[in-house]
Structure 1
């Protein structure tokens, strides 16, 4: 039996752990097979406040973890296979721990970027392949970039990347985009954006000396393969919130992101809080995730102390 369990060890979960540990709530953090979240696949992080020269993603996450441990947060490795949120204390089934219970639960399991599943993609993640234009666009000043995708997020990332790149090529497997008309129009009016429609990504092509040379695609019209030269490849085909283990016990939107009462981290179940990318499909930044982790810790602390500051009469 624990006071509070935190699921996930990205910026949101670790910030929540720091705050709850400092409040003497003795949080237990359950980390999955990839501790540290998406930042562990990022090389240089240059937009997190406090690091004027930047910091490596894994180093930043390791520092956050050490900070949480310093204040008494306990970490346990495991994979949550089932949860029962119907009554308190909440019950969690963890493959390596068995059954554990908690009076409060902070969910910060994040969202995973959908990948193409082609050769060279995962191996070059952070070395020429990215899923976050806001995070990595700066590194491609004056260079050629490929953006893969046809939805609103792909159009948004393509437009954003033209601030840095000399040329952005949008690759889409169909002859029609899925993006809304306004997003399509913005991209088509941008002189730096070119189009490679009816192309199926086949392989990320590497340079002999390391890094990315381009994206090999199959031209659906000719049936032939061709390489689109690029220094960076941004995959923008959407994200998938890591909420499958909840099995519908919390209110989510149509794509699975946990819904919280605006201005809080409260879910529709009293005593359950959500923070980070698992409830944010708009910003998806380390600093915003950390901010909501702080909010979740403070909300959970008030709940555990029975403070009247927590008003569960609000509805989603």
Structure 2
């Protein structure tokens, strides 16, 4: 007999929403989180596009409200890292450090992490390279930094950096940004941001910390160094899916493939949020995914 009706892996907006729906359905449910409940949004400075908050809300506050709501329904969130899965039997096995648990159904809501460029992230992490402006911007007060990327996250975080840094180079490999128009307008209107078009970051310079970021123009092939004290990188994400180990079908980039009911190729196993192969990764879409998956899991269990 399985330990739980449902085990949810991850406690970002998707995981917490799935937990809320499962708890309201009176399922025996457990959420597993290897870090801190809330996922990536807890380090997001400001969320302006989530319905119900016309003035916006900090990512941390939004995550905290979701967590409080989930726990008020009796949802149990346990700090534990999933090492692997065994989905070959009707009762799914989730292997943790030193023990394993079983569930009738599993929702994978493990999210994604920032993609690295391979320009010295491991060596300079905490010494000038960062993926989180909300976390590290205060360390660069009145300094010059380089921000790499052109999507919503990169532009929004670059704008946030200007609250502290005296200058922000926004390096983008194309000649136009991919961010939403309202964010682009704010960036172009900010006199602390200098756009560096058609350019990629190729390396960093410095001994104890960063003193400059090497860049290359992809059209002219000109190379130069931007004198800077820090480098913030936002060039996409990678799925947090190492524990899956080919137990469910993924796309070429490792994102889990799921149908309209959020079900993977394994019956009773669902994928939601940023870890899923999806055309849009937003809080709103993660929440929608999770609601569908939780109801799908409930119906699956009822028919066992």
Which residue number in structure 2 is paired with residue 101 of structure 1?
Answer: 102
**Alignment match of 1:120 (pick from 121, 124, 128):** 128
Structure-to-structure mapping, 1:121-136, within 5 angstroms:
121-122=129-130, 125-126=133-134, 133-134=151-152
Unaligned 5+ runs, structure 1: 171-193, 207-213, 308-316
Which residue number in structure 1 is paired with residue 248 of structure 2?
Answer: 250
Which residue number in structure 1 is paired with residue 297 of structure 2?
Answer: 300
Q: 1:279 to 1:244 in 2, by over 3 A?
A: same
Structure-to-structure mapping, 1:185-224, within 5 angstroms:
194-196=197-199, 199-202=202-205, 216-218=212-214
TM-score, normalising length: structure 2: 0.75
Quote the offset at 1:49 in angstroms: 1.3
Which residue number in structure 1 is paired with residue 140 of structure 2?
Answer: none
Quote the offset at 1:99 in angstroms: 1.1
Quote the offset at 1:224 in angstroms: 6.7
Quote the offset at 1:285 in angstroms: 0.8
CA distance in 2, matches of 1:33, 1:77: 7
CA distance in 2, matches of 1:135, 1:150: 15
Which residue number in structure 2 is paired with residue 282 of structure 1?
Answer: 279
- After superposition, give the CA deviation of every residue in 1:102-156 in whole Å (9 maximum; x if it has no partner): 0000000011111452433338522656978435746839x7764446489x953
Q: 1:138 to 1:78 in 2, by over 3 A?
A: closer
Q: 1:151 to 1:289 in 2, by over 3 A?
A: farther
Which residue number in structure 2 is paired with residue 175 of structure 1?
Answer: none
Q: 1:133 to 1:196 in 2, by over 3 A?
A: closer
Q: 1:19 to 1:36 in 2, by over 3 A?
A: same
Quote the offset at 1:283 in angstroms: 1.4
CA distance in 2, matches of 1:125, 1:108: 24
CA distance in 1, matches of 2:183, 2:232: 10
Q: 1:86 to 1:243 in 2, by over 3 A?
A: same
Q: 1:123 to 1:306 in 2, by over 3 A?
A: closer
Q: Is the 8 A contact 1:9 1:36 kept in 2?
A: yes
RMSD: 3.5
Which residue number in structure 2 is paired with residue 164 of structure 1?
Answer: 186
- After superposition, give the CA deviation of every residue in 1:82-114 in whole Å (9 maximum; x if it has no partner): 210001211111126x11000000000011111
Q: 1:130 to 1:272 in 2, by over 3 A?
A: farther
**Alignment match of 2:53 (pick from 48, 51, 54):** 51
- After superposition, give the CA deviation of every residue in 1:238-260 in whole Å (9 maximum; x if it has no partner): 31101110101100000000001
Between stretches 24-33 and 2-11, larger displacement belongs to: 24-33
User: Residue 33 of structure 1: SS of its match in structure 2?
Assistant: coil
Between stretches 84-93 and 273-282, larger displacement belongs to: 273-282
CA distance in 2, matches of 1:238, 1:265: 23
